[in-house]
Amino acid sequence: MIERLWNGWRTAYVTRGQGAQPPNDVSLFTALLRSGRPDSETYIVRRGERVFAIMNAFPYTSGHVLVLPYREVGELEDLDAEESRELWATVAQAVRTIKAVYRCEGINVGLNLGAAAGGSVAQHLHVHVVGRWTGDTNFMVATAETKILPEALDESARRIREGWVG
């Protein structure tokens, strides 16, 4: 039987939305782009004309890349034709790169549009490209809610940057 736990305090959260941002705030990605810091510090691994690729700061696996437009948009349908073309071409390059650099057995490609869908930075859409291996999820995730990554983020960024295919 399903149990129900009533927590009325969540009404404001659900009504307002988890990812609600004041209109003058910019996304983390936009803030990084405007920071003037070098790509090696921001973990940007590829820059195109309308789109860039950056390492996920909280990766599911080593080599987890995000591909996103420079322009801050939250919805896929808000991309113009050129942004959309370059976004998907860069996603394909990221897939080829991760396969070449990490020799993974599979790849997950996806995005979460909106806070309700799990988008952690819902105002700035980003496509996840994640290499996967058989058994890459183990008891640590299930019992200790801890992900073990065998490689430091700066090393992953270096490898992806140097091995970029395309």
* List 64, 124, 126, 128, catalytic entry: 126
Cα–Cα distances in Å, from 32 out to 39, 43, 48, 54, 70? 9, 10, 16, 10, 11
Over the chain, what is the mean pLDDT?
A: 84
Cα–Cα distances in Å, from 150 out to 6, 99, 143? 41, 17, 19
Q: Which helix (H) or strand (E) holds 47?
A: strand 44-47
> Which has the minimum average pLDDT: 9-23, 80-94, 132-146?
9-23
At 1, the pLDDT band (50, 70, 90 cuts) reads: low
CB atoms closer than 10 angstroms to residue 86: 18
Q: What is the pLDDT of residues 11-54, one digit of tens each?
A: 444 444 444 443 458 899 999 999 999 999 999 999 999 999 99
The alpha carbon of residue 31 and the mean position of all alpha carbons in its chain are separated, in whole angstroms, by 15
Spatial CB neighbours of 166, under 8 Å, sequence gap ≥ 6: 89, 90, 92, 93, 96, 97
Q: What is the pLDDT of residue 21?
A: 44
CB atoms closer than 10 angstroms to residue 158: 16
Catalytic (active site) residue 124? no
The domain spans of the chain are: 25-163
> Which has the minimum average pLDDT: 46-50, 63-67, 81-85, 117-121?
117-121
Q: What is the pLDDT of residues 101-134, one digit of tens each?
A: 999 999 999 999 888 888 788 899 999 999 998 8
CATH 3.30.428.10 at 25-163, yes or no: yes
